[in-house]
Structure 1
Amino acid sequence: MTSLDKPTSDTDPTTSTDQQEADAKAVTEAALFEAFGGIRGMVETVLPGLLFVTIFTIDKNLTYSAIAAVAVSLALVAVRLIRRDTVKHAFSGVFGVAFGVVFAKMTGNAKDFYLPGMIYTLGLAVAYLVTTLAGLPLIGLILGPVFKENLSWRTRNPGRKKAYAKASYAWGLILLAKCAILFPLYWWGDTTQFGWVLVALKIPPFLLAVYLTWVFLAKAPPPIDVFAEMEAEEQAEKAEKARRAAATEAARSQEF
């Protein structure tokens, strides 16, 4: 049983408060690790861009840099396929690199390799803030299925909805701050310097956002496991049908 398989809506009355809090933190940590790919996902996110800027720094050759970035992205996907792991993080890296290569080759400007990712980051920041203002925080939509609570937090768990709102605001503001640094550098900075700054800003903002999400959710009420509720309802319906069938059969037996 993994930490995500532990009960999340009911707690053992004999369990200490400290232990319950530790369990909640462990479940939250496991969910975030699963949703955002963990260390491996971060490596797959950073490595193509790092290889691109490294090669471009050495010989200023856009074609070689682009080929290397695409090759390592495809290699990461191949490794996941061979290991039969989930490929969503690796595939997202491939698409990001492919778009970057297309932009850069079309304009002939190596800096444009990073432009699609920057636009995506800005759009994601806006999405976090707008969905939260609309009462449907994006981080809740992302993590709800991971916690097996789906959208139950919207109406049945206001404490978790508040935590998701805080986390979504944190993601939105952190990504906006990142964009506020990168976009001016994109327009005014040297291609090589800009590339290294962008690579350096890949992980720290992400880790900060994940950490704040973990803090907010670890202190929130536990998720309501709607999958367990549906299974319980199905079991109850089956039991009721069996009871009715037995009662009908017993009545028929008495008639004879």
Structure 2
Amino acid sequence: MADKKRTGLSALADAGADSDDFSIIEAIGGPRGVVESMLPGVVFVVLFVATNNLNLTIAVSAVLALIQVLARLVQRQSLMGALSGLVAVGICLIWAWKSHEARNYYMLGFLTNAVYAVLLSVSLAVRVPGLGLVVEFIRQMPTDRFAAWFHDWMDDRELKRAYMVITSLWTCLFALRLLVQVPLYMTDHVAALGVARLLMGIPFWALAIWVSYLIIATPMHRHTNTYRRDGDAAERQQEHE
């Protein structure tokens, strides 16, 4: 495995490797990644509740997001995560600023959760687990022979079943966020909404990745070993021919 651990769903793509060093902290971005992900939301809700000044809250949150990116730039670290976070925070702040409503800071999150929930629900309905597509695509990008790549993991009943289970799990996660947070948005409970967003953000994300890893690790490991044995057998056969 590479020295630099992959994060998010990419970490699940390594579940079938001959390794027991899976780390949930590293999978969610490490301590720094967790802080950088949660800090803008914490600052926004705390500052707005304390001052009730939306413009000041937006300005401070925007400066904080820029500082995070500049810090990575100065330290010559990867900027992709920080830049993607900056774009997301920027959209949220602009949405709140243009609408003059603090609660609209969370609108982008509602939309993304709704889109993910719908897409995963559709994938479950057609019996092609969305999480399986994503994880297998990360594991082995099908630059050619797409049909062979697709059937390789879809025809493995145990692996497909595991992917169906974790796809259901993530669908429930996105739906639960909406069920809890949308009523708070509709009733304009910004403080409660901010707390709910924080609690159902990184902690739920970490739990979903950990449980998903536990579910798919064994069938993926077995599938990977079977694939290797079949490949070795094919190579030996070609050598004898």
TM range (shorter): 0.7 to 0.9
Q: CA RMSD in A?
A: 3.5
Structure-2 residue corresponding to 1:210: 209
* 1:4 positional shift: 9.0
Corresponding letter in the other structure for 1:26: D
Select the residue among 61, 65, 85 that pairs with 2:57.
Answer: 65
Is the aligned partner of 1:130 residue 2:129? no
* 1:138 positional shift: 2.6
* 1:164 positional shift: 1.8
Alpha-carbon separation, structure 1, partners of 2:135 and 2:19? 15
The TM-score with structure 2 as length reference comes to 0.73
Percent sequence identity is: 23
Query: Does the 8 Å contact 2:16/2:224 carry over to 1?
Result: no
SS in 2 for 1:26: coil
Aligned residue pairs, count: 215
**Alignment CA distance shift 1:33-1:158 (3 Å):** farther
Query: Does the 8 Å contact 1:128/1:137 carry over to 2?
Result: yes
Structure-2 residue corresponding to 1:159: 158
Is the aligned partner of 1:26 residue 2:25? no
Alpha-carbon separation, structure 1, partners of 2:4 and 2:99? 46
Is the aligned partner of 1:220 residue 2:219? yes
**Alignment CA distance shift 1:95-1:22 (3 Å):** closer
How do residues 1-256 of structure 1 correspond to structure 2 at under 5 angstroms? 2=2, 26=20, 29=22, 36-148=28-140, 151=149, 153-155=152-154, 157-222=156-221, 224=224
* 1:114 positional shift: 1.0
Structure-2 residue corresponding to 1:9: none
Bigger drift between 32-41 and 184-193 goes to 32-41
Query: Does the 8 Å contact 1:35/1:142 carry over to 2?
Result: no
* 1:102 positional shift: 1.6
The C-alpha deviation readout for 1:72-91, integer Å capped at 9, x for no partner, is 22222333344444433322
Query: Does the 8 Å contact 1:44/1:89 carry over to 2?
Result: no
Alpha-carbon separation, structure 1, partners of 2:205 and 2:131? 13
Query: Does the 8 Å contact 2:103/2:188 carry over to 1?
Result: no
The C-alpha deviation readout for 1:206-226, integer Å capped at 9, x for no partner, is 12211221111123132549x
Query: Does the 8 Å contact 1:4/1:147 carry over to 2?
Result: no
When Rg is computed on C-alpha atoms for both structures, the one with the higher figure is 1
* 1:179 positional shift: 1.0
The C-alpha deviation readout for 1:76-120, integer Å capped at 9, x for no partner, is 233334444443332232122111112111211111111111221
The TM-score with structure 1 as length reference comes to 0.69
Query: Does the 8 Å contact 2:159/2:219 carry over to 1?
Result: yes
Query: Does the 8 Å contact 2:45/2:191 carry over to 1?
Result: yes
SS in 1 for 2:20: helix
